[in-house]
Chain A
Amino acid sequence: MLAAVGADEVTELFDIPESVAFDGEFGIDARTEQRAERHVRDLLARNDDLTEFLGRGHYDHYVPSLVDHISQRSEFLTSYTQYQPEITQGFLQALFEYQSMLVELTGLGVVNASMYDHATALAEAALLAARVRSTDGDRVLVPDYLLDARRDVLENYTDGAGLSVETYATDDGNVDPETLADAIDDDAVLVYAENPTTLGTVEEHLGAVSDLAADHGALFCLGSDPVALSVLQEPESVGADVVVGDAATLGLPTAYGMGLGLFACHEEFVRQVPGRLVGASEDDADRRAYTLTLQTREQHIRRERATSNICTNQAWVALRTAIHAAYLGPGGLVDLANDCVRLASDLADRLDAVTGVRAPVHDRHHFREFVARTDRPAPAIARDLETEGFAVHAVGDHELQVCVTDANRHAADDLVAAVEEVA
């Protein structure tokens, strides 16, 4: 091959000036596959084996084996964006099916495939709202329970567009419509609320939020996830204009915060949607076929006037989410969601019976998780629980947050026993 290109050595092919050429070493030892595998395994084995009762935006549900086996098929895993749809119908159809299942769960007509995570999807929702706004405003209203990290991402993404992120107070883990009415004005472009909230509470005033947003020409963005959406009020029916969230609550196990940004909105905003959209069309054999569509919104065509800078996204996670949702089916999904209601309620009751603990703090219905008040300082309790083999959140000086799902329910008795010891 060298002869074919007229070179004696491969180094001749590099057109790099001497002054910037690298002749040093990185000092990284090469390893056999066996040694590299062992090295990473040993490294990760330093993680303590704790049973996690953690949530607050990142959730664990059992992921069926089918999801791993199918998503690992290399025709899926080793392909790239479907720039040549004729040879990538399989992935396109899987993404079309993902979009369709989320259309059902949100009631909104457009779902993209996909955003990075909940936080960046929320940020993109605010930017979409600014582009389609009917008023001249620049305010994005978010609830006081919004995770700091999500707010931070939102501020970073919207600063360039001149938006300002402002917090409205909530009451006992829910929107207080009167407080929101005082906070909102015609300068608002987006009002955000969650259901369930980061605190685990089920929101009871979605209709009022929607009405207030509509009265002031703002969009209503709802944060949720596919498991919760299968039982909680349908976003479209309560007037949500955009739904964002982490769709990887189905499809990925706990993954140190890696997610799948869900983004759904009304059809009227379709030309302002960020990211990839898969649509149906026909091929020359007159059969239905799928393809990326409305690509003129995207950065590779529209450049600085694109609806977003996103290119690489979370497509493979969307595939996993779709397989998981299809595996559960409607009955299985509703059962899982109902478990999330019952398990949280039961565990809160049992912790409430422990001396020195009151749970839940919020007099609301809960989904997966809840806040508990403790007499002892919460960080000390969390530390002691860690010694006992459990991880929970300390969210305040005397507040713990506990998340329970199908994935850790088997250890709920042991957690209660441990809390009795240390609380």
Chain B
Amino acid sequence: MRYDQARWTHDAASDDADASEDAGETDHAHADETGDDQYEPLLAEKNSEEVAVESPLPDELTRDSVELPDLSEPELARHYTRLSQMNYGVDSGPYPLGSCTMKYNPKFTEDVAALGDAAVHPDRSDRSVQGSLGLLHGLQDYLARIGGMDAVSLQPPAGAAGEFTGILVAKAYHEQHGEGEQRDEIIVPDSAHGTNFASAALGGYDVVELPSGEDGRVDLEALEAAASDRTALFMLTNPNTLGLFERDIEAIAEIIHDAGGLLYYDGANLNALLGRARPGDMGFDIMHYNVHKTFATPHGGGGPGAGPVGVTDRLAEFLPAPRVREVGRSEGEGQGTDGVYELFDPEHTVGKVHGFEGNWLVLVKTYAYIARLGDEGLADASAKAVLNANYLAEQVDYEIPFGPFHHEFVASAGDQDAADVAKRMLDYGVHPPTTKWPEIVPEALMTEPTEIENKATLDQLAEAFDAVAADDDETLADAPHTTTARRIDQTSAARDLRLSWQALDGE
């Protein structure tokens, strides 16, 4: 398969010709005013209007004018359709970004999130939003079962926010035990997601970086040395970022718990374990779920996601406020009874991590996905995700230093530059893997095909890897060719900052 991405171009030279043809039309600003060769022009370059602000408010409380793009609906529809054509999503083709779990997003989940009944305000009375509360209660329950946890908060709006919430919970727990001041360290493996380090720092903790063992897993001796009466939390993802299951997880839990610390599960890789193992059964005290990874809510170009947090019984009283609980049953409209739900604040809650209840629309999609798949579908997802990663790895020429891996593997580009490999893979019609991370693998290509690919697309991915492996450095450095844009100059972007169209003036 080859892929030539749509490419709308608007070059200054050809514009001059356009401009003379359109000499009679003067009310539209033209892109050639900036003298730029470009792809689809910016909204403001198509037409921008400045309007004077006349308002019922006194002049001294208003601005004088506002200048924004002014385009007809058909012009906008075309603008954004073209932009969409210059963008690549899971529905376009394989998207094996390691650690991101780019699954197919079932369309019906969008439909239920768009229902008028879902469009309610967060300050409604509990009794008037029993449907929303029922769904949230159901999702708390689903996630608790899937993670082996006792209580769940749905409020954190993303995985990193979930991590931060978990850290707040751990801090509250240690404070309750009179060890808040003393436990000022969070241990994080060197191969962990960057958010782990940043969330720990946000919580005011010192980060203790744990070097990986030779097998790519947690080194128990190093952990013993790192754990102490200063340890508040150990943050771990399992399978880890190399796709390896931490076989010593029970010993790890024992070391941390013996030191008086808590064990945190970063849910980024939960897709590998669905129906096979649960963090709660492994000794984890706190976990977050990345619903935009594991439960197929769309990634939306970078979000919104949601990062619900699950905890064991002894930590439930610290979860963010409010949560949802069932307080009775009422006669349902059909057969049986409906739950009666209310919001409540956990007894020693850490308070709020979002201004309202988090990313509601994402949570609706999560609930719908789990309700569709059930036990059977969830277990099938992990089976196929792991099989797909193993099959793809088998077909790829690049060396894969660590194993046995699960839903993802990290290959090494060897003498090639992994970033260049990624650019060249674009020319072979696929989205490349995550590159240059984790650093334990030189020139890392972190690859997660997910359960959605079939043999044909896995073979297509393998062909892309292997074709690039055989390409010379010059070819790699010159890639990509078939994408909308050619190789983009990152240095120029950072050195000569242009963060708005206002900043392009005089370019």
Contacts and interface: CB of A to CB of B under 8 A. Distances in A.
A279 to B, nearest CB: 4
Interface in B360-408: 360-362, 364, 367-368, 370-378, 383-384, 386-388, 390-391, 394-395, 404, 406
A78 B91 contact: yes
Given A75-B88, A279-B494, A330-B67, A323 B487 contact: no
Given A118-B355, A282-B488, A334-B66, A312 B160 contact: yes
A365 interface: yes
Contacts of A113: 302
Interface in B261-281: 273, 275-278, 281
Contacts of A181: none
Contacts of A131: none
Given A81-B299, A280-B503, A284-B487, 17 more contacts: A13-B386, A17-B250, A19-B250, A22-B277, A26-B142, A27-B145, A30-B373, A31-B371, A47-B129, A49-B117, A104-B67, A153-B355, A231-B53, A231-B57, A312-B307, A331-B70, A338-B55
B470 interface: no
B49 A329 contact: yes
Nearest to A118: B355
Contacts of A72: 110
Contacts of B120: 47, 52, 254, 256
Contact of A5 (B85, B204, B350, B387): B387
Interface string A205-237: 000000000000000000000000011111001
25 contacts: A1-B391, A1-B455, A10-B383, A15-B245, A30-B376, A33-B106, A43-B135, A43-B138, A50-B128, A52-B121, A70-B76, A79-B89, A89-B39, A113-B302, A155-B351, A161-B204, A254-B121, A276-B302, A281-B488, A285-B485, A293-B490, A310-B158, A312-B158, A334-B54, A341-B55
A102 B387 CA distance: 46
Chain B CB within 10 Å, residue with most, of A13, A44, A49, A277: A44
Interface in B412-426: 422-423, 426
Contacts of B115: 40-41, 44
Interface in B464-502: 478, 480, 483-490, 492-494, 497-502
A88 B431 CA distance: 10
Contacts of B66: 104-105, 230-231, 330, 333-334
B285 to A, nearest CB: 15
B90 A78 contact: yes
Which 7 A-B pairs give the minimum distances between C-beta atoms?
Answer: A257-B356, A160-B204, A316-B300, A30-B374, A119-B355, A90-B87, A315-B302
Nearest to A20: B282
B275 A287 contact: no
Interface residues of B, number: 192
Contacts of A256: 118, 120-122, 132, 356-357, 360-361
B69 interface: yes
Nearest to B281: A20
Contacts of B131: 43-47
Contact of B63 (A44, A233, A290, A312): A233
Nearest to B330: A46
Interface residues of A, number: 177
A2 B304 CA distance: 36
B95 interface: yes
Contact of A37 (B111, B163, B370, B493): B111
Contacts of A272: none
Interface in B83-125: 83-92, 95, 97, 100, 102, 104-106, 108, 110-112, 114-115, 117-125
A32 B54 CA distance: 55
Interface stretch (A93-101, A183-191, A349-357): A93-101
Chain B CB within 10 Å, residue with most, of A16, A25, A31, A304: A304
A138 B504 CA distance: 37
Chain B CB within 10 Å, residue with most, of A118, A254, A256, A315: A256
B190 to A, nearest CB: 10
Contacts of A66: 73, 76-77
A317 B304 contact: yes
A113 B486 CA distance: 24
Contact of B372 (A36, A120, A267, A301): A36
Given A10-B386, A26-B146, A90 B82 contact: yes
A8 interface: no
Given A80-B302, A299-B194, A60 B121 contact: yes
